[in-house]
Copies of this chain bind each other. A is one copy, B any other.
Amino acid sequence: MGLLTDFGAGSEHVGALHAVIAATCPGADRIDLAHDLVAGDVRAGALVLARLAPLTPGAFHIVVVDPGVGTARRAAAVGLEGGGALVGPDNGLLRLAAEAIGVVAAVELHPLPHDAPATFHGRDLFAPAAARLASGAPLSSLGTPFDPATLVMPELPPPRVDEGLLAAEVVTIDRYGNIQLLAAGADLAAAGFTPGDRISASVTDRPHPVTVARAFGDVAPKGMLVHVDSHGLVAIAVNGGDAARRIGAAPGDVVTFTRWAVTGG
């Protein structure tokens, strides 16, 4: 049973999910996939889930990044090829992982009683549903079927690519200050940037020199590089340093790469 939330590592909300699952499905191996997602960052959650869920074929996952809790968003369970399932809000969080693994069916969870006081959907709706599935309950017993093709797609703006130009949105920044962008290695190549090139990266007006590289060791200590990271996405890093701090990037910012122009006087 994978757990992925934006509740914060070590929070009582994560503890509540664990406790409900442990009580309902004692034998389940619970795996903390991630809990430090930026609060409400559905698309980052969707990408992380799509990377991690395929690592444990057949597993059930409870996934809660739910800024719209209490609104009309659908509460869903998605049955996967190979036997597992994803359980969480259908707000864009589930679709990429579902597509990565393959979907066999989807249901909208039976709602909690309308007058239930003091509800916490993770604890009261999603965790019990996931635990029931992991205990062998059929997906159809949990809710009303819907067409998996209607699962909400997360907002993932594609990069802008041209000869000598790549502009892409920052999707995550990790604790080392590595800046992950919504662009794939192929986009970097399509812009004509190849390893060894010295190019320019801008978030605001000020351009920063970066080297297109394969690995951190390809640049000098404290040198900045753009590379294809371990998830296949374009990322900016500083060898032994913090790229996000150096160029002042935050999730949602657009980074623009162009050829480095040496302007003469």
A4 vs B10: C-alpha distance when bound (angstroms): 9
Q: Are B31 and A19 in contact (CB under 8 A)?
A: yes
Within 8 Å CB of A11, what residues of B?
Answer: 9, 34, 36, 174-175
Q: Are A118 and B36 in contact (CB under 8 A)?
A: no
Within 8 Å CB of A13, what residues of B?
Answer: 174
Q: Are B39 and A15 in contact (CB under 8 A)?
A: no
Tell whether A8 pairs with B10 under 8 Å between CB atoms, given A18-B31, A70-B217: yes
Identify the stretch in A21-29, A187-195, A243-251, A254-262 within 8 Å (CB) of chain B at 4 or more residues: A21-29
A29 vs B22: C-alpha distance when bound (angstroms): 8
Within 8 Å CB of A39, what residues of B?
Answer: 175-176
Q: Per-position contact with B for A104-135: 1 when CB-CB < 8 Å, else 0? A: 00000000000001111001100000000000
Say whether A263 faces chain B, with CB atoms less than 8 Å apart: no
Q: Are B36 and A9 in contact (CB under 8 A)?
A: yes
A234 vs B124: C-alpha distance when bound (angstroms): 19
Within 8 Å CB of A48, what residues of B?
Answer: 12, 15
Within 8 Å CB of A14, what residues of B?
Answer: 32, 34
Interface of A is mostly: loop
Say whether A71 faces chain B, with CB atoms less than 8 Å apart: yes
Tell whether A15 pairs with B19 under 8 Å between CB atoms, given A36-B10, A118-B230, A216-B70: no
Say whether A204 faces chain B, with CB atoms less than 8 Å apart: no
Say whether A16 faces chain B, with CB atoms less than 8 Å apart: yes
Please, could you name 29 A-B residue pairs with CB atoms under 8 Å apart, sorted by A? A8-B36, A8-B174, A9-B10, A9-B11, A9-B35, A10-B35, A10-B36, A11-B34, A11-B174, A11-B175, A12-B33, A12-B34, A18-B32, A19-B52, A20-B55, A22-B56, A23-B55, A23-B57, A26-B29, A39-B175, A39-B176, A40-B176, A40-B240, A68-B217, A69-B216, A117-B228, A118-B185, A118-B228, A123-B230
A9-B10, A70-B216, A118-B229 are known; give 15 further A-B pairs, CB within 8 A.
A2-B19, A4-B15, A7-B175, A8-B36, A11-B174, A15-B34, A15-B48, A15-B52, A22-B59, A26-B29, A68-B217, A69-B216, A71-B216, A117-B185, A119-B230
